[in-house]
Amino acid sequence: MIKVAAVDLDGTLLRSDGTVSPATVATIGRVVKSGVRVVIVTARPPRFVVKLAMDVGLTGQAVCANGAIVLDLDTAETTICGPLSIHVARQAAHCIAAVLPGAAFAIETGGHCVVGPGYEHRATREDARTEVQTLDELWTGTDTCVKLLAWSRTPVTDALLDVVAQALPVEATLTYSGAPGMLEIQAAGVSKLATLAELCARWGVAAAEVAAFGDMPNDLPLLRWAGLSVAVANAHPGLLAVADEVTASNDEDGVARVFMRWEK
């Protein structure tokens, strides 16, 4: 029996326009009432997840920033469980710039995003962005960092991910959530899986009682761990290859289609 449904947002629960369909919202509500704990597990920061949870009607905990933050949806309080030191972030940026010329950088603090020169990516619904004029200001403008964001016009391929991962310092790890040109760097050992597994242990829930839904490489460890792994039809090939099942795409309410089976 599934007790926890761990659901990624972008490309999985969210449609291509960044919304959740009314049909999916209704299905989530019924599944929650039946006793399943639906947990958002996302690369997104808490400020985005709070708004989305209100729209969808979710409460409880959410895993944000690829596992670096746990968000209490009832109080909007956050707990940083995987900070990345500014020193390591700066070192990682130097390593990335050496193998990816033209890369621009930003720091996610959990409360807002500090954006360096040339960083052109803008997330949907982003309303907490501070721009600095030099890279030096990026490293001195904040004491808090949960992840380093690296953006370039170069398409993200598996080969590029391998090159960047090998260039990083041992204190950092690379994730990829699917945004065009975007790479995300966390502290070593920080992941959606590590944080969700800790929450499940606290709740007395075994891996066999967890269903995980995802679409991108940052979801892969979680899908491998969960008792039931579900990839949406639009997922990265790596997830399609290992998932227990493939549901419809994010634009076709793929997550809700699986949830509806649990109602029968």
64-79 pLDDT, tens digit per residue, is 999 999 999 999 999 9
Question: What's the maximum distance between 2 C-alpha atoms anywhere in the chain?
Answer: 57
- 75 and 91 part of one domain: no
- The Cα–Cα gap between 182 and 123 comes to 11
Percentage of the chain exceeding pLDDT 70:
98
Indicate the residue type of 258: V
Instruction: Give the residue from 168, 187, 206 where a domain finishes.
Output: 187
Residue 126 has pLDDT above 70, yes or no: no
> Are 1 and 221 within 8 A, CB to CB?
no
Residue 80 has pLDDT above 80, yes or no: yes
- The Cα–Cα gap between 201 and 198 comes to 5
Task: Identify the residue whose tokens are 């960092």.
Answer: 145
Q: In which domain, by residue range, is 236 found?
A: 4-81+191-262
Percentage of the chain exceeding pLDDT 90:
90
Residue 18 has pLDDT above 70, yes or no: yes
Instruction: Give the residue from 156, 187, 218 where a domain finishes.
Output: 187
| Number of folded domains that form the chain | 2
Nearest CA among 107, 121, 110 for reference residue 152? 121
- 77 and 203 part of one domain: yes
Q: 228 - beta bridge partners?
A: 211
Q: Please state the pTM of the whole predicted model.
A: 0.94
